[in-house]
């Protein structure tokens, strides 16, 4: 079973790695197994990036809430 690659620490890092993977896949020079591995990593990066975007959106929605009397509490993402 393949070992999971370590997740990048930031959204920007994930995006940069994803762009590199897309470039390698679009080149058409990778052997099938390597292309599948790269594709799998790309899917993982895209999902992690989507999750980070959703968490950021939730934080913004909380901060821009119309309820001025709402109690502010520290934001804790589900995965942490």
Residue 49 is encoded by which pair of tokens? 């990036």
Q: Are 30 and 2 in contact (CB under 8 A)?
A: no
1 band by pLDDT with thresholds 50, 70 and 90:
very low
Enter the pTM of the model.
0.68
Region 7-23: mean pLDDT is 88
CA angle in degrees (0–180, nearest 5) for 43-46-47: 85
Give 25's contacts (C-beta < 8 A, 6+ positions apart).
35, 38, 39, 42
The model's pLDDT over 27-64, given as tens digits with 9 standing for 90+, comes to 999 999 999 999 999 999 999 999 999 988 988 887 88
């Amino acid at each position: 079973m393949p070992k999971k690659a370590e997740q990048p620490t930031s959204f920007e890092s994930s995006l940069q790695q994803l762009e590199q993977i897309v470039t390698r896949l679009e080149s058409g020079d990778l052997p099938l197994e390597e292309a599948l591995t790269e594709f799998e990593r790309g899917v993982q990066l895209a999902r992690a990036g989507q999750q980070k975007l959703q968490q950021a959106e939730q934080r913004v929605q909380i901060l821009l809430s119309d309820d001025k009397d709402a109690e502010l509490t520290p934001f804790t993402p589900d995965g942490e």
